Structures are given as structure tokens and as C-alpha cells.
Amino acid sequence: MRQPIFEIVAIGNELLIGKTLDTNSHWLAIQISKLGGVLGRITTVRDRHDEIANAIRNALSRHPDFLLTLGGLGPTHDDITLSSISKSLKRRLVLNRDALAFLRMRYLARFGPSVKLTPPRVKMARFPEGAVSLPNPVGTAPAPRLTVRGTTIVALPGVPKEMRAIFRRSVVPMIEKFGGTQHFYDRSLILLGIPESSLSPIIDQVMRKHKRVYIKSHARGIEKSGAARIELHFRTGGTSPKQQKAQLGHAVAMIKRKLRGKATVRDLHGG
């Protein structure tokens, strides 16, 4: 069963001048990995039509299964994601009736019957032609979804709680439907006192023995004692939870055996 491939296009000047840390992409990377997907690329661009449109076209040329954009769905002048998607796809920007009804409901609930759907507010309901509206459980901006040559594009808001809520409610079911019943499990060890250059051949031996377990080392600095500190991350996936957990346990046990007397080994966490 093939794992779904993802790309993310994160949009916003604030990300590129260092004002805002892109925690959204980091959170999505974790969720995608847990759900069995593969995140192939994260592209960050400024609030410019041509840069956003080019990033989307470039991503689509690689044919990911899912393309997620982040930010730029609001009512202000620099919220230009929807129009940029339209430009990149050469599709008209049209008023989406479902999105408009959602906006009306949200603003009525927030401000009462005297509220008006001003042009900046209506702007949030102008989607690329052919897009459908995904509800926003905690915010105002609806999220468009459309499919282009086999790639599902979802434009998510940049507000973290809104992005996460839409992802959990609407995007996760799409991923689960694509990926079927795959399960993924992780373990991490902390190693003290062995350099990565000495650890590398041991990792190779264990991965040759346990071919479905991927092992990656991450240098985590030096202890006060002068010992090198390394985090060793194990990951495996498949359709049989019992089998995958067993393979993961065997790989961890083999590493521990091979490191006996060479490094101090501590369990960090399991997943």
C-alpha cells in the first residue's frame, strides 16, 4: 500500500523576516508522519502573487497526493492565497455559496443581526473555481479544497488553532481513506559516550537485519562530562500492529546489545 506524499507551501512575510516561527509546518509534519504520510517538501514564500503561484505550480509539477497551503485566507489586503491559487491554476475566482453561508453564520453568531458582510469579509468566500468549502470549527475563514490532476489542494488558515481544527476534522479523514489501515510506531533512545562515526556502522547492521525499521541518529550536543549525546530514533510501519511493535522491539534490543560496554543507553519515549 503506497504512502501518501505531501507538500506544504507556507505563506507570509512574517515567516521570512523572523517575526513568526513556522510552528504550523512543524505540527503538520508530525501529524502527517503519524498518519503514515511522507512530507516531501516545505516551501516558504512571501505575500506576493507571483511567488505563491510559482510555488504552487512547482509543487504540482512533482505530483504530490496532497498540497497544503498555510496562511493568507483572511480579509486584509495581504491575504492573497486564494487569488494566487486561482492565478497558478488559471481558474476564475468565484463566490462560493457554501463558504458565504458559513461566513454569514459565523458573523451573525459573533456580532448579532446588525452585522454586515463587507467586501473584505466576502473576499474570504471567493474561491478558485471548482473548490469546495471545508468548515472552520473554531474560526471565521472557510478552507477551500480542490483536486488538480490527482493532487488534493487544501488551503489552511495561518492561525494555529484554526489550522489544527480544520486539519483534524476534514483533512485527517482524507488521509486515512488514502492510507487504509497502516500503523506507525516510534521509539527513541538517548546514547552517551559514543560518537556518530562509531555508531553509524552499528545502525547499518541493525537496519540490514530489520529491514522495515528505519533508524536515524541526531546529535544533541555534549554533556558536562564531555560525553557525546545522541538521540537515536526508530520508526516502523505496516498493517499489523502486533508485528510492527515486535519488529521495533527487536531492533531496539539489538542496538542495546551491540552498544553494551560502548555507550550509556537510556530510553527516551515510545509511541
> pLDDT tens across 12-68, in order?
999 999 999 999 999 999 999 888 889 999 999 999 999 999 999 999 999 999 999
Instruction: Report whether pLDDT(113) > 50.
Output: yes
Q: Tell me, what's the pLDDT at 224?
A: 78
Q: Tell me, what's the pLDDT at 270?
A: 45
The highest-level CATH class for domain 183-270 is alpha beta
The highest-level CATH class for domain 5-179 is alpha beta
| Alpha carbon distance 268, 71 (integer Å) | 34
pLDDT digits (tens, 9 = 90+) for 151-189: 999 999 999 999 999 999 999 999 988 865 567 888 999
Q: In Å, what is the CA distance from 202 to each residue of 4, 214, 229?
A: 31, 13, 16
Q: Tell me, what's the pLDDT at 115?
A: 87
| Alpha carbon distance 85, 88 (integer Å) | 5
Percent of the chain with pLDDT over 70: 97
Cell of 250: 527487536
183-270 has the same fold as 5-179: no
Across 98-107, average pLDDT? 94
Q: Mapping DSSP to helix (H, G, I), strand (E, B) and coil, where does residue 142 land?
A: coil
Query: Nearest-CA neighbor of 124 among 145, 96, 153, 149?
Result: 96
Q: Which of 8-22, 212-226, 235-249 has the highest mean pLDDT?
A: 8-22
Q: Mapping DSSP to helix (H, G, I), strand (E, B) and coil, where does residue 261 land?
A: coil
Instruction: Write out the H or E segment, with its range, that includes residue 51.
Output: helix 49-61
Give the residue extent of every domain in the chain: 5-179, 183-270
| Alpha carbon distance 152, 80 (integer Å) | 20
Across 79-85, average pLDDT? 96
Percent of the chain with pLDDT over 90: 76
pLDDT range class, residue 88, cuts 50, 70, 90: very high
Q: Tell me, what's the pLDDT at 114?
A: 85
